[in-house]
């Protein structure tokens, strides 16, 4: 059984963690200085690992083996949430680097072709899975040209600022690969609750999203009688409350929805808000349920618009990320490897988080491997995993890669 260099693995993870470190977490939003620093650092690591390395026109970092295919592509994303954990995305990227290094150092495996990728903007500063969408060729020019972040910064300006304007946008060559494997922290409590060490992911949820805008009339909070007000915040609260109730009636046990972004302007206690924004995101393993929730949103907007005085409009309808099943053969090899390193301590399980693997699966067989998240926490500075679990996961991935490429 292969043994990765655990000291080197942890050292690379800790050095990456230092880039954009805040408290116990990291702040490396797509195209931020910290993100680009991490990408240039990683490109150098790929070169030292003997890979041909480049940063492409949307910031994806690619490390390509000199070995001829068929190859395996390993990786994940390098960008983080605005207040992110140190392992979300980073784990899968550094696992890929360590597997490439370990196999190239071993005379029995140094002929195998292991490529590694670090995608850009999986965390949707501009657009969820921006980098992997560009890599599979489904990022249309209109979206590329018109994407802006929540502060109104244009994607093309962020790319220019990062010094990437004019760099080519790499495209996946499906003929080179047998598949894509993304290792990731579970970001939930299931593995820890079941005292399991490895999750072999069966499916990835789908996702719908909306941005609502509420326009009313800013006015004095004392002299404006209730019946004449056009209060943007009251309309927002009414819509949020009604959506919560109506989604609860449609939801299955695996349906989740979140209203994680609220803006009320001008945000002063003695001023009736004239403007408000609300971000809604909903997820389910079933595309049919997501279609139902889509339709329900439109019905609820119509119903609430009739009874509030502010005007409600839908600013953006996010691209649907479809739920997907992951590749059976790749999963089988992940399971065989997991059984070798963690006998009876691994399970098949769905992913409640979405991942670049969902996008890559449009062109390549794809599969994922999870390691436990302490307390099930993620998208928070306190996100963490036990060192032994981190090392075990990388060994399982390396063994699975050898099985897949040697079959
Ligand atoms: O939100 C997600 O599922 C992913 O972590 N971006
Ligand atoms: Mn994330
Ligand atoms: Mn992630």
Torsion-angle region of residue 262: left (phi > 0), alpha (psi -120 to 50) or beta?
beta
C-alpha 369 to ligand 3 mean position (Å): 12
Write out pLDDT tens, residues 171-186: 999 999 999 999 999 9
Residue 89 Cα, ligand 3 centroid: separation in angstroms? Answer: 5
Q: Can you give the pLDDT at residue 316?
A: 77
Helix-, strand-, coil-residue percentages of the chain, each rounded to 5: 40, 25, 35
Distance from Cα 81 to the centre of ligand 1, integer Å: 9
Which residues does the chain have with pLDDT short of 50? none
Index of the ligand 1 atom closest to the CA of residue 379: 5
Please tell me whether the overall predicted TM-score, pTM, comes out greater than 0.75 for this model. Answer: yes
Look at residues 28, 34, 57 and name the one whose alpha carbon lies nearest to residue 144.
57
pLDDT score of 334: 98
What is the predicted pLDDT for the residue at 320?
Answer: 85
Q: Is the peptide bond before 70 cis (omega within 30 degrees of 0)?
A: yes
* 107 Cα: distance to centroid of ligand 2 (angstroms): 36
| Closest atom of ligand 1 relative to the 124 alpha carbon | 6
Which of 92, 90, 110, 97 minimizes the C-alpha distance to 44?
A: 97
**pLDDT of the residue at 273:** 98
Which pLDDT score is estimated for 321? 86
In the prediction, which pLDDT does 407 show?
A: 81
Q: Closest ligand to 89 CA?
A: 3
Q: Report residues whose beta carbon is within 6 angstroms of any ligand 1 atom.
A: 122-123, 353-354
């Amino acid at each position: 059984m292969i043994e990765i260099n655990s000291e080197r693995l942890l050292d690379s993870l800790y050095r990456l963690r230092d880039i954009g470190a805040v408290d116990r977490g990291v702040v490396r939003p797509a195209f931020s200085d910290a993100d680009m620093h991490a990408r240039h650092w990683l490109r150098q690591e790929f070169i030292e690992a003997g890979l041909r390395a480049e940063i492409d026109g949307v910031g994806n970092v690619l490390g390509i083996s000199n070995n001829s295919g068929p190859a395996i592509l390993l990786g994940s994303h390098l960008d983080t949430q605005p207040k992110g954990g140190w392992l979300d995305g980073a784990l899968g990227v550094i696992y890929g680097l360590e597997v490439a290094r370990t196999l190239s150092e071993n005379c029995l495996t140094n002929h195998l072709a292991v490529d590694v990728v670090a995608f850009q903007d999986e965390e949707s500063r501009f657009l969820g899975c921006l980098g992997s969408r560009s890599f599979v060729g489904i990022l249309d020019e209109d979206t590329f040209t018109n994407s802006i972040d929540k502060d109104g910064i244009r994607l093309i300006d962020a790319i220019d600022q990062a010094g990437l304007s004019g760099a080519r946008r790499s495209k996946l060559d499906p003929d080179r690969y047998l598949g894509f494997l993304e290792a990731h922290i579970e970001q939930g409590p299931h593995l820890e609750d079941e005292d399991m060490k490895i999750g072999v992911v069966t499916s990835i949820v789908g996702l719908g999203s909306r941005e609502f805008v509420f326009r009313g009339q800013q006015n004095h909070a004392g002299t404006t009688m209730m019946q004449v007000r056009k209060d943007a915040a009251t309309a927002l609260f009414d819509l949020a409350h009604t959506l919560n109730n109506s989604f609860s009636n449609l939801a299955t046990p695996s349906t989740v929805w979140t209203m994680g972004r609220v803006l009320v302007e001008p945000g002063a206690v003695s001023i009736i808000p004239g403007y408000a924004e609300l971000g809604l995101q909903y997820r389910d393993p079933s595309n049919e349920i997501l279609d139902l929730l889509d339709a329900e949103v439109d019905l609820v907007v119509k119903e609430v618009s009739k009874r509030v005085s502010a005007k409600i409009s839908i600013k953006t309808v996010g691209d649907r990320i479809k739920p997907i099943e992951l590749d059976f053969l790749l999963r089988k090899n992940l399971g065989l490897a997991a059984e070798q390193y963690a006998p009876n301590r691994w399970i098949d399980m769905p992913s409640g988080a979405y991942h670049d693997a969902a996008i890559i699966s449009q062109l390549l067989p794809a599969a994922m491997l999870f390691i436990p998240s302490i307390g099930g926490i993620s998208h928070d500075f306190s996100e963490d995993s036990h060192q032994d679990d981190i090392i075990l996961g990388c060994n399982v991935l390396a063994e699975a890669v050898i099985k897949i490429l040697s079959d």
